[in-house]
Chain A
Amino acid sequence: MTVNRAPLRERPELLKMSHIEKTFRGDVVALKDMNLTVNQGDFISLLGPSGCGKSTALRLVAGLMRPTNGVIEWSGGQGEGDLGVVFQEPTLMPWAKVKDNVWLPYRLRGKSYFEVKDEVLQALKLVGLEQFQNAYPRELSGGMKMRVAIARAMVTKPRLILMDEPFAALDEISRHKLNNDLLALRDAVGCTVIFVTHSVFESVFLSDRIVVMAARPGRVIRELNVEAPYPRTEEFRTSADYAAFAREASDALHQAMEVAV
């Protein structure tokens, strides 16, 4: 399987953050002069210690808060259903069946279930849970709940998916499996991803761009490209390339911690 994705430097621009600054309660600087251009097809990881503003950056892009200074521009403007989000918790509605949870983004746009039934079932099929469409969240394992959350984020075929440490609470086996599946999904859907993590290995395995951030004040200190081809499989996880990228990212992260302390 070959993946149709333009080389890193030739991708059209999707979203641009320019000179973003966010200050809380007048004096806590969560983000300082952040510049980031997200291109179509990018898988970007925001990597950094806690307090470096990576979640704040995500919330700004999601439109959940406004920057104190600076602008975030979508090329061609942001349309309905352009954005999907996955949080650290699965964040499912416990009273709703799996299929109704996945229906939610459409439901809030006034679409009846029957109008979008195919899309909902397709999304569930992509995450391998179509036989659980009538189950309630409490009947699912942690990993399965996260898959439902991913299906919900992808159901509208958004241009951009934001993921805030989605697999941090999972065990390592589930986490590796979900990492593999996420890459396959992203190929199937063809969306752009911004992925917040504090795991060097996860960021190297998943992304083609890693943005390393430092804390106090939150800022970008390094950007590095992981120029390894997709699809990435279990072999990549144990390859020399992978180790080299991990080393590079790890050094950058250490640098981020040092400047922070």
Chain B
Amino acid sequence: MSRENSQMIEDKSVDIEEENIARKERLFAIARWTLPSLMMVLFIGGWQAYVTIAQVPHYILPSPLLIAKTLVEDWSLLWPAMLMTGRLTVLALLFAVIGGLVIAVSFTQSKLVEMAMFPYAVILQVTPVVAIAPLLQVYVDNAFVAALLCAWIVAFFPILSNTTIGLKSTDHNLEDLFTIYGATRWQRLRYLSAPSALPYFLGGLKIAGGLALIGAVVAEFVIGRAGTGLGLASTLLEASYRFNFGRLYAALILISVMGVAIFGLMSLISHLCLYRWHESALKRE
């Protein structure tokens, strides 16, 4: 009895544990944005301080201020370069999606096709693209097509392999249900396999988006201006030859920005497609 009494005395109108959880959540909500921003300020500040105090020459490590200045001054050169690299990346990703989907669907429609083709898709993927790129330049007359092919090879595999797994991971009972209701092959693909594969495909798309950019950069490095005109990666390479490190860093930063933008866009697409029904979009209460 006395224990119960003491509990009653301690009992307050608000649950302390719940209050603590709520406080933690508020803290995390603020920290999610302020902490990375703080890290960035510290990093850039430290960099600027180091360059200034140690008097590092700009052709070894340019200061953040110099990079910012170059970004503004060279914008008329950097912006078209960014468009150029962007075009190559987007086209490579687009063809990667089309190619990956078509091949994945043909794999799941015919086991024999998969048996015949899959090892070669793997070989294409595991062979470093840097090693293939010079060959592409030799065999493909049009340099832009060669660069596109180079970026495509890197980007398409995650789409292919993820979508193939997704198309195969349909619920067996749903398969049976479709059989009982006399579904055609097309209906099965359209209403069962495709929606089942969607989360897997979108996972592959996120990876492929980043890889398409990497492929585009590699293509620019290896195939050069002939293929794409002056893209960001070619700009970066040229700047390094000229010891123009301000421009080099500016181009590098823009490439990173593109990568982040692509990732953000793919994450947004994924969220929009899945948030209504998929477990991955479910917040635990």
Residues of A within 8 A of B (CB): 59, 62-64, 80, 83, 85, 87, 89, 91, 93-96, 104-105, 107-109, 136-138
Contacts and interface: CB of A to CB of B under 8 A. Distances in A.
7 A-B pairs with least C-beta separation: A91-B173, A95-B195, A108-B181, A87-B173, A136-B277, A108-B183, A95-B277
A93 B174 contact: yes
B263 interface: no
Contacts of B276: 136
Interface string B171-215: 101101111111100010001100100100000000000000000
B277 A94 contact: yes
A87 B171 CA distance: 12
Nearest to B182: A108
Nearest to A104: B181
A93 B195 contact: yes
A104 B191 CA distance: 9
Given A105-B181, A137-B277, 19 more contacts: A59-B176, A62-B180, A63-B179, A64-B179, A80-B182, A83-B180, A85-B180, A89-B173, A91-B171, A91-B173, A93-B191, A93-B192, A96-B195, A104-B181, A108-B182, A108-B183, A136-B276, A136-B277, A138-B282
Interface string B7-29: 00000000000000000000000
Contacts of A64: 176, 179-180
Contacts of B141: none
Nearest to B188: A108
Interface of B: 171, 173-174, 176-183, 187, 191-192, 195, 198, 276-279, 282
27 contacts: A59-B176, A63-B180, A64-B176, A64-B179, A80-B182, A85-B177, A87-B173, A87-B176, A87-B177, A91-B173, A91-B174, A93-B192, A93-B195, A94-B277, A94-B278, A95-B195, A96-B195, A104-B181, A104-B191, A105-B181, A107-B191, A108-B183, A108-B187, A108-B191, A136-B276, A136-B277, A138-B279
Given A91-B173, A95-B195, A95-B198, A108 B179 contact: no
Contacts of A93: 174, 191-192, 195
A107 B177 CA distance: 13
Contacts of B176: 59, 62, 64, 85, 87
A119 to B, nearest CB: 15
Nearest to A64: B176
B190 to A, nearest CB: 10
Looking at B181, B182, B192, B198, which has the most chain A CB atoms within 10 Å of its CB? B181
B177 A91 contact: yes
B257 to A, nearest CB: 34
A87 B179 CA distance: 14
A89 B192 CA distance: 17
A109 B181 contact: yes
Nearest to A62: B180
Contacts of B279: 94, 138
A91 to B, nearest CB: 4
Contacts of A108: 178, 181-183, 187, 191
A105 B182 CA distance: 9
Nearest to B170: A93
Contacts of A136: 276-277
Contacts of A105: 181
Contacts of A63: 179-180
Contacts of A137: 277
A87 to B, nearest CB: 5
B271 to A, nearest CB: 15
